[in-house]
């Protein structure tokens, strides 16, 4: 064996936990799991010291570049649309270097919060090759990355929200989508990079982009992603421009398919939930972002009971301002119980959403989101202080989310430790942070 993690409370998958368990890794995959005394020999052994070990968490919705404008003072108290229109002119200054640096920082932060696979919804393209820069960062780190080719075509001149400086022509978007898929999408087992198509939202792209993206997804067998039913302003806008509700439009453009997962899904009607659940659409709930922006949030357990797979997302760094999937899981738990009562949701439900739910969103649950033998060796040894855990002796999974804060003590992606003792191992990080600070100040027009 290449690596053995022993003496753990091992959460293998929904309904399968091994107290005092071990997990053996060989050739970047989970080889076997078991209980104390039967461990195989391994080149390296990590003693988990009785702590919780889970599958790596999966981030189903993010905008990594937004960490360049975290907690940007002029818009912190705006509505979603005010916040967006205040930030678009800043994001118009993105270039390859700033996107590379922001992606590097975002992935490092995600690893420190126990996330081993993330999507990124990259929908601002003032310059070409920005997603190429993201793949450069992912490869340097060794992070499992599901990129999405986002897009915007409707500027204010066409009745949309963004300024002309951050939108693109339809044909340019479609050609770049094909280019990225052919260059980076690896449909094979154990892939470290995949690509999905992700027009930003119904109110920022034309109908043709929605329709053609769905067609391209069929041709190349890709996932489809967008924001849906995030804000009441969206209902009004859709009614005025398309003469229907957002979900009706989503169906009209051919997106109600098992390929699609949508971010937020806060304001669907009962009938719309039934229709999209029947179609196999998955949802990414973003609890912290939703609460920070002061709108509603999806009813995670309600949607699950209706048959929808629901994952969690930390959303753009400029709305949530953190990248910890542990914090998202904890907030999902609080929000679920606040909404539906104490019997409605457990820590295991939140963990299941952050693992299996995220994997379902990415169409990847054969290999990630669990630690069954044969799965990708993506896992986390959770670290909490002895003070925080004092008195928590009866249920390590509930303690993980109820006590806290928890950080990733060790994060392993594809059998390779990328965080140890709570610290990221990437040696380039100090230089990356210095470069990030430079670009964040440039983009925020802070001089001196």
Binding-site ranges for Zn ion (CB under 5 A): 315
Task: Give me 403's structure tokens.
Answer: 């006590």
Please identify, using beta-carbon distances, which residue of 65 and 135 lies nearer to Zn ion: 65
Please identify, using beta-carbon distances, which residue of 150 and 409 lies nearer to Zn ion: 150
- Min CB(438)–Zn ion separation in Å: 26
Q: Which of 312, 300, 326, 309 is nearest to 52 (CA)?
A: 326
228 within 8 A of 198, measured Cβ to Cβ:
no
- Min CB(264)–Zn ion separation in Å: 7
- Min CB(61)–Zn ion separation in Å: 6
Residue 357 and residue 310: Cα distance in Å, rounded? 5
Please identify, using beta-carbon distances, which residue of 162 and 414 lies nearer to Zn ion: 162
Q: How far is CA 306 from the centre of its chain?
A: 22
Give every strand in the sheet of 57-59, ordered side by side: 57-59, 115-122, 144-151, 193-199, 224-228, 260-264, 282-285, 310-312
Residue 435 CB partners (closer than 8 Å, separation 6+): 97, 101
- Min CB(409)–Zn ion separation in Å: 29
Please identify, using beta-carbon distances, which residue of 315 and 321 lies nearer to Zn ion: 315
- Min CB(284)–Zn ion separation in Å: 9
Angle value at C-alpha 217, between 212 and 218, nearest 5 degrees: 100
Please identify, using beta-carbon distances, which residue of 212 and 315 lies nearer to Zn ion: 315
Please identify, using beta-carbon distances, which residue of 315 and 352 lies nearer to Zn ion: 315
- Min CB(289)–Zn ion separation in Å: 7
Give the CB-nearest residue to Zn ion.
315
Please identify, using beta-carbon distances, which residue of 9 and 62 lies nearer to Zn ion: 62
- Min CB(286)–Zn ion separation in Å: 7
Residue 427 and residue 272: Cα distance in Å, rounded? 48
Three-state SS at 340 = helix
Q: Which of 74, 431, 314, 123 is nearest to 439 (CA)?
A: 431
Residue 227 and residue 284: Cα distance in Å, rounded? 9
């Amino acid at each position: 064996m290449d690596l053995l993690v022993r003496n753990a409370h091992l959460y293998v998958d929904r309904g399968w936990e091994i107290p005092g368990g071990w997990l053996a890794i060989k050739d970047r995959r989970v080889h076997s799991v078991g209980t104390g005394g039967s461990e195989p020999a391994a080149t390296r052994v990590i003693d988990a010291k009785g702590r919780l070990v889970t599958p790596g968490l999966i981030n189903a919705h993010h905008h990594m570049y937004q960490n360049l404008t975290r907690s940007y003072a002029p818009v912190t108290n705006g509505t979603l649309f005010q916040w967006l229109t205040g930030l678009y002119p800043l994001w118009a200054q993105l270039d390859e270097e700033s996107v590379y640096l922001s992606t590097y920082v975002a992935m490092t932060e995600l690893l420190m919060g126990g996330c081993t696979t993330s999507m990124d919804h990259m929908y601002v393209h003032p310059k070409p090759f920005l997603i190429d820069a993201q793949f450069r960062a992912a490869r340097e780190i060794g992070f499992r990355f599901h990129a999405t080719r986002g897009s915007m075509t409707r500027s204010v001149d066409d009745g949309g929200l963004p300024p002309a400086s951050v939108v693109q022509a339809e044909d340019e978007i479609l050609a770049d989508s094909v280019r990225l898929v052919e260059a980076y999408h690896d449909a094979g087992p154990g892939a470290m990079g995949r690509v999905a198509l992700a027009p930003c939202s119904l109110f920022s792209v034309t109908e043709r982009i929605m329709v053609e993206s769905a067609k391209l997804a069929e041709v190349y067998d890709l996932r489809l992603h967008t924001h849906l039913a995030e804000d009441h302003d969206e209902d009004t806008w859709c009614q005025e421009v398309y003469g229907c509700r957002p979900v009706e439009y989503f169906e009209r453009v051919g997106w109600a398919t098992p390929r699609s997962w949508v971010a937020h899904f806060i304001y669907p009607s009962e009938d719309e939930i039934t229709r999209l659940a029947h179609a196999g659409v998955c949802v990414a709930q973003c609890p912290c972002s939703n609460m920070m922006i002061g709108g509603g949030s999806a009813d995670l357990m309600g949607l699950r009971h209706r048959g929808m797979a629901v994952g969690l997302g930390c959303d753009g760094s400029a709305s949530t301002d953190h990248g910890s999937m542990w914090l998202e899981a904890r907030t999902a738990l609080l929000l679920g119980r606040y909404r539906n009562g104490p019997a409605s949701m457990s820590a295991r439900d939140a963990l299941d959403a952050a693992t299996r739910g995220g994997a379902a969103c990415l169409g990847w649950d054969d290999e990630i989101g669990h630690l069954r033998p044969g799965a990708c060796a993506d896992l986390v040894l959770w670290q909490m202080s002895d003070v925080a855990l004092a008195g928590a002796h009866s249920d390590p999974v509930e303690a993980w989310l109820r006590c806290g804060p928890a950080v990733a003590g060790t994060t392993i992606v594809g059998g390779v430790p990328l965080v140890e003792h709570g610290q990221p191992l990437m040696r380039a990080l100090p230089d990356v942070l210095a470069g990030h600070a430079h670009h964040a100040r440039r983009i925020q027009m802070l001089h001196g």
